[in-house]
């Protein structure tokens, strides 16, 4: 159980770091911590995240980046405030070229490929040549918190405590914990805006 608790603490610490000061390294490390948390949770409790759509989608990308690490350099992280006026419940967009998501399908287990490909396609937000994965990261963090709490896995660390306090505040206020990640553009096409923004970020 201690290894599961440590994996949980690491995940929430890296998740916080990615939210506060995101870059390609924080994303890579966060995806790796999600994989590790699932592995440790299975060994400690027999439970897992394979029935969580966000996990399935992030696992596909993690496996792609793990085997071809240089591909993570194609990811672009863009603060919403730097985009033309849009409405969204996200502060940051984490954009991945659509071609990389399609490439990740080739590494899915053949027995599960049809099912998991459908999950990835429906869970991520597609905008032409780019896909936004940040809502997946956000919503997975909520799923992870809820599962760990339900199983009674005690997680330490300042960042887990902060997440727990925000969750409990939302619960008491009657707020929904998950986000839609929808993007509404006041003028023009969302896909065109994001594709242009993606191309302009180095």
Instruction: Please give the pLDDT value at position 186.
Output: 63
Phi, psi of 56, deg, nearest 5? -60, -45
Q: What is the pTM of this model?
A: 0.91
Neighbours of 25 (CB within 10 A): 11
DSSP state of 110: T
CA 46, 61, 120, 11 torsion-angle sign: positive
How many other CB atoms are found less than 10 A from the CB of residue 36? Answer: 17
Task: Return the pLDDT at 82.
Answer: 77
Residue 165 has a pLDDT of: 96
| Category of 125 on φ-ψ map: left (φ > 0), alpha (ψ -120 to 50) or beta | beta
Split the chain (202 residues) into runs of 10 and give each run's mean pLDDT. 94 96 92 97 96 96 86 85 78 89 90 93 89 94 97 95 96 89 71 71 48
User: CB burial class (10 A; 0-12, 13-18, 19+) of residue 4?
Assistant: buried
Question: The tokens 């970020």 sit on which residue?
Answer: 201
Domain boundaries, the chain: 2-200
Task: Find the largest Cα–Cα distance for the chain.
Answer: 52
């Amino acid at each position: 159980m201690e290894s599961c608790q440590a994996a949980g603490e690491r995940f929430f610490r890296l998740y916080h770091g990615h939210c506060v000061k995101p870059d390609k390294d924080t994303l890579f490390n966060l995806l790796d911590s999600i994989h590790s948390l699932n592995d440790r949770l299975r060994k400690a409790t027999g439970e897992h995240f394979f029935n969580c759509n966000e996990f399935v989608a992030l696992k596909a990308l993690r496996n792609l980046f793990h085997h071809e690490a240089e591909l993570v350099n194609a990811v672009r992280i863009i603060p919403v405030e730097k985009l033309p006026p849009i409405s969204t419940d996200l502060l940051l967009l984490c954009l991945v070229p659509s071609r990389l998501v399609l490439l990740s399908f080739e590494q899915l287990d053949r027995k599960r490929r049809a099912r998991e490909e459908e999950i990835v396609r429906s869970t991520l937000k597609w905008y032409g040549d780019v896909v936004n994965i940040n809502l997946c990261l956000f919503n997975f963090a909520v799923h992870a918190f809820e599962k760990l709490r339900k199983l009674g896995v005690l997680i330490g660390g300042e960042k887990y405590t902060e997440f727990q306090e925000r969750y409990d505040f939302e619960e008491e206020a009657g707020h929904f914990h998950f986000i839609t990640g929808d993007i509404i553009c006041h003028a023009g096409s969302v896909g065109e805006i994001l594709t242009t923004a993606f191309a302009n970020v180095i």
